Amino acid sequence: MPLLEPRPTPSARMRLLSPLIAITLTLAVGSLLFLALGKNPVEAFTVFFVQPLSSGNGWSELMVKAGPLILIAQGLAIGFRARIYNIGAEGQLIVGALAGGGVAIALDGVDAWWVLPLMVVAGAIGGALWGAVPALLKTRFNAEETLTTLMLTYIASFTLSYMVNGPWRDPEGMNFPQSIMFGDPALFSPWFEGMRVNAAILIAAVASVAFWIFTSRSFLAYQLTVGGLAPAAARYAGFSAQRTVWVSLVLSGLTAGIAGVGEVAGPVGQLNLNISPGYGFAAIIVAYLGRLNAVGIVLAGLLMALLYLGGEAAQVALQLPAAITGLFQGMLLFFLLGADVFVDYRLKPRPKPAYA
């Protein structure tokens, strides 16, 4: 006897409640986890979610981490609406960082205002091209984009490893796999003394507004969404499925590429093997948690950034492994998918006993 029955119409209220339920459940299971590890949950949550925001530097770090997450998730959401599952944003970020970083290395010593904008453009092109490859493979050869985008991520990270171990290795870097440190013209300058927050967050903010306008106002975005919800209807209306694939993958590659430049020209300041703590993957969760909605993604991105900060703080204050962030991310997505079931379904009322 199934416990669920379909709702007559999807519940709009449940769509908004679902992320909150997922967050609550994650916190509840998180408390049990902290108890099991012999930590006081109240203290642990203070370390995780309150302490990081109790200083100016904490807020600055929140912006530093939220920037790339929001930027990438905005791009991904366009594709997810159209049911194009780009799960290789991490690779597109890396290629964007390589393209932007390459410009910085080539123009090292050039003191001009246009170096940084050129890096951003190069990163956008690099990421978009890396997203265009699976688009070509899908439209031309029918190859599943979930698998190709992910395989291209591995290829991108080996390319990065080759470049920083070979052609672009800093000759004075004691053989560490890293490039030269970029000069000031190739860096986003921090807004405040001693804090890392910089203009890269503005790119994420502008992108959020642009994507909000794009998704709520443009006919193209409407076509993409219809293509995802009702492929047959989209075909009947003459909307191009091929264009959907191209727009989704190139756009999400582009935003991920820019995010990559934001990292190497920001907090990292060079090319090395640790340019991203998995932003490309975490952004998938951000996109879903934010309901594939531009405003929702901003909120979800801030929460995910806080999760990263909390993980770092927990490492120092509670001697918990930093991997706990990944564990929380996975739990959050699970609970979200579980709660999302109740958008389309509801619990079946138990049948009344038949006796009089």
Partner 1 sequence: MLEHLIPVLAGTLGAATPLIFAGLGELVAERTGVINLGVEGMMLIGAIAGFAAAADSGGGALAGLPAGAVAGMLAALVFAVLSLSMAANQAACGLALTIFGVGLSAFIGQHYVSFSLPGLQPLDIPGLVDIPVLGRILFHQDPVTYLGLITFAIVWWVLRKTRLGLVLKAVGEAPDAAHAIGYPVIAIRYGATLFGGAMAGIAGAYLSTVYTPLWVQNMVAGRGWIAIALVVFATWNPTRLLLGAWLFGGVTILQFHAQGLGIALPVQFLAALPYLATVVVLVLISRDKRLLQLNLPASLGKPWMP
> Which positions from 41 to 80 touch partner 1 by CB under 8 A, shown as an x/- string?
----------------------------------------
Member of 124, 197, 285, 298 binding partner 1 (CB under 8 A): 285
Handedness of CA 245, 247, 248, 250 (dihedral sign): positive
Strands 4-6 and 345-347, sheet pairing? antiparallel
Confirm if 223 and 244 have CB atoms less than 8 A apart. Answer: yes
Phi-psi region of 336 (alpha: psi -120 to 50; beta: other; left: phi over 0): alpha
Asked if 159 is part of the footprint of partner 1 (rule: CB under 8 A), the reply reads: yes
Whole-angstrom CA distances from 223 to 123, 207, 252, 316 are 28, 20, 17, 48
The residue count of the chain comes to 356
Q: Hey, what amino acid is at 310?
A: G
| Distance separating alpha carbons of residues 302 and 289, to the nearest angstrom | 11
Residues 320-339 that bind partner 1 (CB under 8 A): 321, 323-331, 333-334, 337-338
Asked if 341 is part of the footprint of partner 1 (rule: CB under 8 A), the reply reads: yes
Shortest gap between Cβ of 347 and partner 1 (angstroms)? 11
Applying CB under 8 A, the site for partner 1 has a residue count of: 45
Residues 87-106 that bind partner 1 (CB under 8 A): 87
Asked if 11 is part of the footprint of partner 1 (rule: CB under 8 A), the reply reads: no
Residues 108-147 that bind partner 1 (CB under 8 A): 137, 140-144, 146-147
Member of 162, 176, 191, 192 binding partner 1 (CB under 8 A): 162
Using the 8-state DSSP alphabet, how is residue 272 labeled? B
- CA torsion, points 204, 206, 210, 215, in degrees to nearest 10? 40
Shortest gap between Cβ of 273 and partner 1 (angstroms)? 11
User: What does the binding site for partner 1 look like in residue numbers (CB under 8 A)?
Assistant: 2, 4, 85, 87, 137, 140-144, 146-148, 150-152, 154-155, 158-159, 161-162, 165-166, 281, 284-285, 288, 321, 323-331, 333-334, 337-338, 340-341, 345
